[in-house]
Amino acid sequence: MKASTYMKNAALVVIASLGVTACGADMDDLDTYINEIKARQGGRIDPLPEITPYEVFTYIADAEGFRSPFTPDTPQTAGLPGGGTSPDPDRIREHLESFSLDTMRMVGTLDFGQNTYGLVQTSDGLIHRVLPGNYLGQNDGRVIDITDSKINLIEIISDGIGGYVERDAAVGLSD
């Protein structure tokens, strides 16, 4: 058994030495190629593009027909501070104004007498009846019309410059 182990070890040493000898093969062609690349002249790098200086423009209201970038595109006299549309701070809030519009869904209508009620389900799972004139959502959304497929509202939202604007919204019938 000792002789076979000795033979195996000797064979491994011979194979390893042949492998190492093969790795040290003639690399003159590689050295020649590297020396050729190093001997080449360096290329010319293009100069950086010239940077044009920034031109300052002062915005003056209606200067040369340009609109100021700090005012809305369309005049909104209703949204100006001190007049026009604004939420009524003295109005008593209704229960459905504590829910966001995107958490409510219309589940149907109910004709009762001369009135058509919209049926709205809130996120807590309860179903509520609404009529035109009721308020929904957190943006003073007043119900203006109820159809078989949706409840139309007008919301009063901030315009971002101290005033308010009216925006159409709806709660659609869900499947």
pLDDT in tens, 43-68: 888 888 998 888 887 766 556 666 66
Q: Is pLDDT of 113 > 50?
A: yes
Topology adopted by domain 63-85+94-172: SH3 type barrels. (2.30.30)
Helix (H) or strand (E) holding 38: helix 28-39
pLDDT in tens, 135-175: 999 999 999 999 999 999 999 998 888 889 999 999 998 76
User: Which among 68, 129, 61, 63 is positioned nearest to 95, based on CA atoms?
Assistant: 129
Mean pLDDT value across the chain: 83
On whether the CB atoms of residues 99 and 123 are closer than 8 A, the answer is yes
Weakest mean pLDDT among 14-18, 25-29, 79-83, 103-107: 79-83
Grade residue 25 by pLDDT with cuts at 50, 70 and 90.
Answer: low
Phi–psi pair at 132, nearest 5 degrees: -55, 135
Q: Is pLDDT of 31 > 80?
A: yes
pLDDT in tens, 66-89: 666 666 665 444 444 545 688 888
**Residues above pLDDT 70, as percent of the chain:** 78
> What's the CA angle centered on 112, arms 137 and 119, to 5 degrees?
25
State residue 151's pLDDT score. 95
| Residue 77 or 8, more confident | 8
